Amino acid sequence: MTIWLRHRLFQLVFVALSVPVVLAAPVSLIWGQRGLIVYAGRWAAMALAIARICAGVRIRIEGTRPEGPVLYAIKHQSMLETLVMAAHFGGPAIILKRELAEIPVWGWLAVRYGCIVADRDASARALRHIMKEGRAAAARGRSIAIFPEGTRVQPGEQPPLKSGFAGLYKLLDLPVVPIAVDSGYAWPRTGPLRAGTVTMRIGDTIPAGRSRDAIEVEVHRAINLLDRPGTLSH
């Protein structure tokens, strides 16, 4: 089967199964936010299984997930990162752009799941909102996940971290756990999914209290460790 046929099969099965799952998701709120977090984790695990069966995309997680609330700083090359965080990292509160929260049904569910909506056009207000929601999530023992380079990037691209990351790190006063990925080779921003093993590498925990320059350098280096052309394993 060609790459494009496997990709189309993935799309068909993913949409066919996800539509009823998403529409039924409000029922999980009977058990509160925790019910939705568990439900979303199972949907994400289903999506990853479909990608593995239909397109041959496998996941390898290296390192140990830390205990307690942390600030996850993740390289972002594909949709896969958000699925893995929901399925295998306990469902942290993910900081996402407002456009995603405006998607019918899905956006409504994302907010109730605990995703923290960031408004790119109002940076000061956005940071205050993120701070308030982030502190509330951490107080409940929940981790926060951010893509510090901003949006998805192509393999080989290593843009500087967005300025808000260091401010969030300082104000939340949480340790940072950087996560490097090479997902863009198997799950590109455009084009078909490609068979192979995607690695997500959990880096060493960086304690709270680092200076702005130090935390930016450490995190940028750590999340880009796997970002080398041709590193996708088969």
User: Where are the extended beta strands (E) located within the chain?
Assistant: 57-62, 71-74, 93-97, 116-118, 144-146, 176-181, 196-202
Tell me, what's the pLDDT at 1? 66
Identify the pLDDT of residue 231: 47
Question: pLDDT at position 228, please?
Answer: 62
The 10 Å Cβ neighbour count of residue 233 is: 12
Can you give the pLDDT at residue 233?
44
pLDDT digits (tens, 9 = 90+) for 80-99: 999 999 999 988 999 988 78
Q: Which fold has domain 58-223?
A: Glycerol-3-phosphate (1)-acyltransferase (3.40.1130)
Give me the sheet containing 176-181, strands edge to edge: 57-62, 196-202, 176-181, 71-74, 144-146, 93-97, 116-118
Whether the CB-CB separation of 186 and 193 falls below 8 Å is answered with yes
The pLDDT value recorded for residue 54 is 95
List, for the chain, all residue ranges whose pLDDT scores fall below the cut of 70.
1, 120-123, 228-234
Q: In sequence order, what are the residues at sequence separation of 6 or more whose Cβ sits closer than 8 angstroms to the Cβ of residue 64?
A: 202
User: If residue 86 lies in a helix (H) or strand (E), which one and from where to where?
Assistant: helix 80-88
Which are the contacts of 115, defined by CB distance < 8 A and separation ≥ 6?
93, 94, 95, 96, 100, 101
For residue 35, which phi and psi values (nearest 5 degrees)? -60, -40
Q: What is the pLDDT of residue 105?
A: 86
Question: How confident is the model over 117-158, as pLDDT tens digits?
Answer: 877 655 677 777 788 888 888 888 899 999 999 888 999 899
Q: What is the pTM of this model?
A: 0.91
Distance CA 27, CA 46 (A): 18
